[in-house]
């Protein structure tokens, strides 16, 4: 099967779309073509042949032409059958069992979309003489789409790297971070970094393969912060700079344009602690009071020149809320030998679900109202190791497995008995040593760091990267916040059980961009 090239495509009326859908068309090239007034540009032989048109060649050529005409309608007929088969499959309780069957289902159930496919189908409407027509065009390798996909991959890759490093120092405890917030804050540092310092930031955050990185973050932030959504998601950046220090206007203008990061002048030399408190108040306001005291006592002194702050706040209601009357006390197993009592929520509804055989775990997607954000949970079958039971799953977390396990087309919308604990996590991280272990070294060393893109000189270096996070999950939905400071459907009639009464991983995803905004591990109440 080959896709129709743009020049082979004409006008399709809206009433034809229900049959045609978005299918790839078998590749054939008849000798002659005819363009009908009100349809797709079809080869001659499909539709009504013009009156009086006859082949005047010899018998052999006439026979060959008739044979060609018989073949073409057959292929068009097969296209129509494919569309009908799609409808039939959607009504039956058929589940793919092999890779080939899953791919066939994906091709039939999920037509190409601009967000995930290299070859995308775009439907555009134009009004002519009072009649609505819909044109079908194929768009190949959209640079903007590919670049956003690359940025998403970079952010996800960094999120997993960061989680694995935090896991080394905290193998059994709770973890909750906003890798997106940290990436955005360090991207603002990269904007003013030069030489080896810039190379290390790009490599550590996997930005090497991302073209137009900063405009990409700008576009993503605009999409995340857009008005009129059914959830509250706020991403804010700000620069706090020493009032006696001269920053390059080019850097300040770029930070404001690309990251919305306005410069606030501060008197770090004369009133460091008062400025620290003012920064904390700004963060508190941006996160609806959930992130308090981001910068602890002593973190700001008279040598501080610049504080870069990124804050992200999210509050969303479940598309399918849990009934508080069903919430009961239940044991939560921390490991094989310990357990604690939690408030366990329950509901039975249709949710995207998948069993991941290679990791012996279950994946569940809980959408928020509007479906633009979702919480994805990864739950092992049971506690099989001597710690949290997550060791096997965590060892298999890669960019490729996360994408494969949680792609919408790889999950089935089925009835799931969901048991999920109410929980609240709050944590603070000083990430300097963690980032250094990932390869980000030079920007923390005085005399080695090259942040000359900020000031024109090499007298700046990063002293701290502080990250603080908060998340609360209850019957209504989720409230989450984080702040980072750098200082200088396919339905089937079956049911599944998702009983989160032992440690699990979870992340909150921005579905349009597929960016992982928050990532966590819940292992202890």
Mean pLDDT of the chain: 77
The CB-side HSE value for 445 (13 A sphere, CA atoms) comes to 10
- Of 31-35, 146-150, 277-281, the one with minimum mean pLDDT is 31-35
pLDDT higher than threshold 50 for residue 221: yes
Roughly what angle, to the nearest 10 degrees, separates helices 249-259 and 179-190? 150
Q: Is the pTM of this model over 0.75?
A: no
Closest CA to 378 of 175, 519, 174: 519
Report DSSP letters for 396-440, one per residue: T--HHHHHHHH-GGGSEEEEEEEEEE-EEEEEEEE-HHHHHHTT-
Averaged pLDDT, 435-464: 93
pLDDT higher than threshold 50 for residue 94: no
Domains recognised in the chain with CATH numbers: 6-141 (no CATH), 146-317+423-488 (3.30.497.10)
Question: Measured between alpha carbons, how far is 36 from 50 in angstroms, rounded to an integer?
Answer: 10
pLDDT, tens digit, for every residue of 332-354? 999 888 999 999 999 999 999 99
How confident is residue 68, by pLDDT bands cut at 50, 70 and 90?
low
Give, for 479, the enclosing helix (H) or strand (E).
strand 477-487
How confident is residue 20, by pLDDT bands cut at 50, 70 and 90?
very low
pLDDT at position 61:
58
Averaged pLDDT, 316-329: 94
């Amino acid at each position: 099967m080959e896709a129709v090239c743009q020049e082979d495509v004409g006008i399709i009326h809206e009433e034809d779309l229900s049959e045609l859908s978005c299918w790839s068309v078998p590749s054939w090239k008849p000798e002659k073509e005819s363009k009908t007034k009100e349809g797709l540009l079809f080869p001659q032989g499909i539709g009504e042949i013009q009156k009086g048109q006859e082949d005047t060649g010899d018998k052999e050529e006439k026979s060959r032409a008739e044979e060609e005409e018989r073949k073409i309608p057959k292929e068009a007929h097969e296209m129509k059958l494919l569309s009908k088969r799609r409808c039939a499959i959607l009504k039956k309780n058929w589940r793919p069992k092999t890779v080939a069957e899953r791919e066939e289902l994906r091709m039939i159930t999920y037509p190409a979309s601009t967000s995930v496919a290299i070859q995308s189908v775009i439907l555009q409407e134009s009004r002519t003489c009072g009649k609505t027509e819909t044109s079908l065009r194929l768009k190949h390798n959209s640079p903007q789409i590919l670049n956003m996909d690359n940025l998403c991959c970079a952010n996800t890759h960094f999120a997993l790297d960061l989680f694995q490093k935090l896991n080394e120092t905290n193998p059994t405890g709770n973890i909750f971070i906003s890798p997106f917030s940290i990436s955005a804050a360090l991207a603002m540092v990269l904007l003013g970094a030069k030489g080896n310092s810039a190379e290390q930031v790009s490599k550590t955050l996997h930005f090497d393969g991302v073209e137009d990185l900063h405009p990409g973050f700008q576009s993503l932030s605009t999409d995340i912060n857009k008005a009129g959504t059914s959830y509250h998601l706020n991403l804010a950046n700000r620069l706090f700079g020493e009032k006696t220090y001269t920053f390059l206007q080019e850097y300040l203008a770029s930070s404001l344009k690309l990251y919305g990061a306005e410069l606030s002048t501060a008197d770090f030399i004369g009133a460091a602690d008062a400025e620290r408190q003012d920064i904390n108040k700004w963060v508190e306001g941006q996160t609806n009071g959930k992130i308090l005291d981001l910068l602890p006592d002593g973190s700001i002194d008279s040598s501080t020149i610049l504080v870069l702050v990124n804050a992200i706040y999210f509050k969303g209601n479940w598309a399918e809320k849990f009934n508080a009357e069903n919430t009961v006390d239940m044991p939560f197993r921390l490991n094989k030998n310990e357990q604690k009592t939690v408030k366990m929520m329950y509901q039975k509804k249709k949710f995207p679900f998948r069993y991941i055989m290679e990791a012996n775990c279950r994946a569940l997607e809980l959408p928020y109202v509007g479906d633009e954000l979702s919480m994805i949970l990864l739950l092992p079958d049971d506690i099989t190791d001597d710690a949290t039971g997550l060791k096997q799953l965590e060892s298999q977390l890669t960019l490729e497995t996360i994408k494969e396990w949680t792609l919408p087309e790889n999950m089935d919308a089925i009835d799931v008995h969901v048991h999920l604990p109410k929980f609240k996590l709050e944590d603070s991280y000083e990430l300097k040593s963690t980032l250094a272990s990932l390869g980000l070294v030079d920007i923390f060393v005085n005399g080695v760091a090259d942040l000359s893109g900020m000031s024109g000189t090499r007298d700046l270096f990063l002293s701290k990267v502080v990250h603080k996070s908060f998340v609360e999950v209850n019957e209504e939905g989720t409230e989450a916040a984080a702040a980072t400071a750098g200082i200088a459907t396919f339905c089937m009639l079956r049911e599944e059980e998702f009983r989160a009464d032992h440690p699990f991983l979870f992340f909150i995803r921005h579905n349009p961009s597929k960016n992982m905004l928050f990532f966590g591990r819940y292992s202890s109440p």
